[in-house]
Structure 1
């Protein structure tokens, strides 16, 4: 009988699903309470064993027997690794700290991906009426969801919604082209060639000539059409949403606030256009009302651009957008650090640039104030370099060199961390997609011949 002790050099061949591993009795007896330790104790004459298990995981288990360090393989799910450790009767407390932190990071990533994937679900329908509302909600918000009955129609709606959003942006951009404006005579001395030339006018007559008559009515109707479509769609989503509280905590709440804001200012603008301007003589404060209508139109344009935040709702469908959003979420501390460092540098170097350039002549000096020096520092530190402002004195050159070097340093370090986070999130997303494809493939029933 073979003598069992830790110094026993007898070879043990362990076959893991066809792949052989060679160890010794002494190595396996380092952990006598493990499966292999019990095996060599109970069967001292055995030299060859077979197990149907994962060879890659067992390779790390055998390394643990040899060196005392237990690491999780890179391409193995952490929970799967723990289940195999349970089979080999190796305590999870032996896992190295680096792998535990990596597993924790992976778990956090899973939670973040699940957050973007989850939709507002109803625990109970509570009747056929609520069930229909829930199905409408799934149709509008979850084209690939398991509860969506007409997935093809839901996908078509999602694509149509995206195209309509792009159409809204396109018509808004075309409306600013001078070639698309009405060729009309105005009360002003010259026809404006761009929207900034439409000056702020406190009279209803000027407001009519310089804004209402200039822009063709078709663009106003198209804007109103986009507003109505978006308002109807968001209200249907709100009515059919199973959980109104979660609705306001998601991107849907932002959509609703945008729609409500547009509604208020559309009422003000339409009142000014169709009531005040045609009947200006009947209102004592017509000029103020026209100014309010003009400001309401400007606010509608600004708030209307927020509509494109709706595209963030596609993060649960398009994995690339999901990866980008999660990267920003994981990197918010680095982004705040970047902004803080840039702000601090601008406040420090702006006055230095200005006072180092005051010895230049008025014709040479393009940095005329500290705020303009702030602009120069921002443009220089971000390596944009418009060339609209530049130093013309030797002290200014020296300070600018320092600004360039500091800018390269403080922008490179946080951005490198953000890039690293993007690589981690992207790799994790690829792994999740492969696991989902594998799970879907295994769950698909085989077609009987």
Structure 2
């Protein structure tokens, strides 16, 4: 079994090496092409690319520093545990490869733009939930413990978990109020959660729809502009970009970056 696992791991390592080499080459070329090197490392997508690539090289360095059997020390086991923890954390960062899709996906770009534009709405949503959870958690705890039937709500902090899953309409069912006062509190918390989630969600959805329409228009305008440039180059005419265009090349090295107003 170990031989089969080692063979599979070897093949996976080869595939990962090829992918990381390709991503590293693309990252270096964009860095060389970038007009401003400092602005390059300030770009969110470039930071994600660096964090996604660096764990591979860091894991190679950590494995090279791993003590061998001849140099085993009394603290070798603790060292290996620390090395294993570092490797697990670094390998978990590989999920950032998925974030690279945002560079080529209109939907993910829309999602990121919506999150940035709706930061205040998300803050209000979190504030409303915190206030409501702080209100309903002690109420359901007191209602259930005064009835003396089933002590599922052992403490107020434990009731916070119930309030969160109830107000977000998840409802795992691991904690259920049994008394009539507790059920009344539960009904109030669920209705409050629906209203609290609905108010900011309307504004967030409107922002998402507006951002998607804006990005799609800019993308179509960019495609038509590229086609005109290709036709102009084919016919021998000159057609250059000007400052009035709504798109430009990114100083961070990305191929194209849209400029948003508002």
Fold agreement, TM-score > 0.5: yes
- What is the TM-score with the length of structure 1 in the denominator? 0.44
1:96-142 Cα deviation digits (max 9, x unpaired): xxxxxxxxxxxxxxxxxxxxxxxxxxxxxxxxxxxxxxxxxxxxxxx
CA distance in 1, matches of 2:180, 2:218: 57
1:221 maps to 2:221: no
Residue from 28, 36, 41 that aligns with 1:248 = 41
Q: Paired residue for 1:393? A: 179
Residue 370 of structure 1 deviates from its aligned partner by 2.8
Matched-pair contact (CA < 8 Å) for 2:52–2:94: yes
Task: Provide structure 1 residue ranges, at least 5 long, that are not aligned to the other structure.
Answer: 1-181, 183-212
CA distance in 2, matches of 1:437, 1:265: 41
CA distance in 2, matches of 1:299, 1:261: 9
Residue 224 of structure 1 deviates from its aligned partner by 3.2
Instruction: Assess, with a 3 A threshold, how the Cα gap between structure 1 residues 292 and 397 changes in structure 2: closer, same or farther.
Output: same
CA distance in 2, matches of 1:226, 1:357: 57
Q: Rg larger in 1 or in 2?
A: 1
CA distance in 2, matches of 1:438, 1:381: 47
Instruction: Assess, with a 3 A threshold, how the Cα gap between structure 1 residues 442 and 248 changes in structure 2: closer, same or farther.
Output: closer
Instruction: Assess, with a 3 A threshold, how the Cα gap between structure 1 residues 441 and 413 changes in structure 2: closer, same or farther.
Output: same
Residue from 102, 107, 110 that aligns with 1:323 = 110
Instruction: Assess, with a 3 A threshold, how the Cα gap between structure 1 residues 309 and 430 changes in structure 2: closer, same or farther.
Output: closer
The structure whose RCO (Cα within 8 Å, separation 6+) is larger is: 2
Q: Paired residue for 2:203? A: 417
Q: Paired residue for 2:87? A: 297
Computed over aligned residues only, the root mean square deviation of the Cα atoms, in angstroms, reads: 3.2
Residue 412 of structure 1 deviates from its aligned partner by 0.3
Task: Provide structure 2 residue ranges, at least 5 long, that are not aligned to the other structure.
Answer: 236-262
For 1:46-445, list aligned pairs within 5 A: 182=1, 216-225=5-14, 227-240=16-29, 241=31, 242-243=33-34, 244-250=37-43, 251-269=45-63, 271-272=65-66, 275-276=67-68, 279=69, 282-314=72-104, 318-359=105-146, 364-436=150-222, 444=231
For 1:8-27, list aligned pairs within 5 A: none
Instruction: Assess, with a 3 A threshold, how the Cα gap between structure 1 residues 430 and 311 changes in structure 2: closer, same or farther.
Output: closer
CA distance in 1, matches of 2:123, 2:95: 25
Instruction: Assess, with a 3 A threshold, how the Cα gap between structure 1 residues 260 and 431 changes in structure 2: closer, same or farther.
Output: closer
CA distance in 1, matches of 2:155, 2:3: 38
- What is the TM-score with the length of structure 2 in the denominator? 0.72
Which segment is superposed worse, 324-333 or 401-410? 324-333
CA distance in 2, matches of 1:393, 1:233: 62
Q: Paired residue for 1:143? A: none
